[in-house]
Structure 1
């Protein structure tokens, strides 16, 4: 037995999640999956209908791929988010009104979150701590000035 404490899956997952647009990619993937699951036509019917029917399956697959690629390759997140939002909006016409609006909204919100994610932003916890420390220092400065005034 080694003397080092075991780190669980949680801290490693949090570090991995912090380095990518996790929630946006997840929402985009879930939106595409929801639209795929609400499709009712079989592949035989889709091939008979033609390109319009094929687009009903193609656009949600593109949404799922863009969501997964945003998670796995965050360096290209802007491209994936633009393709993802265009695919989400395209499902309005091709896939049961965008999976009864749920998949369309999940895909659009997820794409916006992927687009707005910044990789070099510091974690929120440290920003809060810095604000508290700055506030405490300001209060201490005001208190010391009040004491020094004759």
Structure 2
């Protein structure tokens, strides 16, 4: 195997994982996931039946259609965050508003599970920013690191590392420690 043949013998799962990682990094992935997960309990609980032996408890309410609409919209907004990241702020605000509306409409927001997940997803979507891509042809600059010798003081290392020493201003506008009164010398 030569250095020129890198990547030819990589396992397809490694390639798929790297591709997914790149795709995930280009969009508000976690915001979309939380928003979609928030829509599921809001949709599910109004139509769920719980069986206790021979007895069936139906949790359906008169707001079943409203819950279904809110849940479907939250799932759609989560997919929008993934596929159209340019509208992430709108989708985040809409997810937060739908989560707030789900409290009175959809069984206390899917028993607070869907409400909290949708709020977190909306907030993550609003706060997500795309990363800056480096200019083509320009090498990435590594941050400067400063190492200290055991007996060397950090201040001396900083002054020697090209960081200029701060010079006092020719006039001082700050109040002195004696309350601004200057002593006549």
Larger radius of gyration between Structure 1 and Structure 2 = 2
Equivalent of residue 146 in structure 2, options 126, 136, 140:
136
State the shift of 1:120 in Å.
2.9
Higher relative contact order (CA 8 A, sep 6+): 1
Task: Give ranges in structure 1 of 5+ residues lacking alignment.
Answer: 123-128, 146-150
Equivalent of residue 95 in structure 1, options 93, 106, 112:
106
State the shift of 1:53 in Å.
3.8
Residue pair 2:43, 2:70 contacting (<8 A) in 1 also:
no
Runs of 4+ off more than 4 Å: none
Q: Which residue of 2 aligns with 1:40?
A: 47
Q: Deviations over 1:51-90 (max 9, x none)?
A: x442121111111100111111101111111111111111
**Which deviates more from structure 2 when the two are superposed, residues 21-30 or residues 52-61?**
52-61
Partner Cα distance (2:40, 2:19) in 1: 27
C-alpha RMSD over aligned residues: 3.1
Could you say what secondary structure the match of 1:134 adopts?
Answer: coil
Q: For residues 40 and 120 of structure 1, do their structure 2 counterparts lie closer, same or farther at Cα, with a shift above 3 Å needed? A: same
Does the alignment pair 1:30 with 2:45?
no
TM-score, normalization: structure 1? 0.73
Task: Give ranges in structure 2 of 5+ residues lacking alignment.
Answer: 50-59, 134-140, 149-153, 161-185
- Structure having the higher strand fraction is 2
Could you say what secondary structure the match of 1:39 adopts?
Answer: helix
Q: Which residue of 2 aligns with 1:65?
A: 76
The total of aligned residue pairs comes to: 131
Partner Cα distance (2:147, 2:78) in 1: 43
TM-score, normalization: structure 2? 0.60
Partner Cα distance (1:11, 1:113) in 2: 23
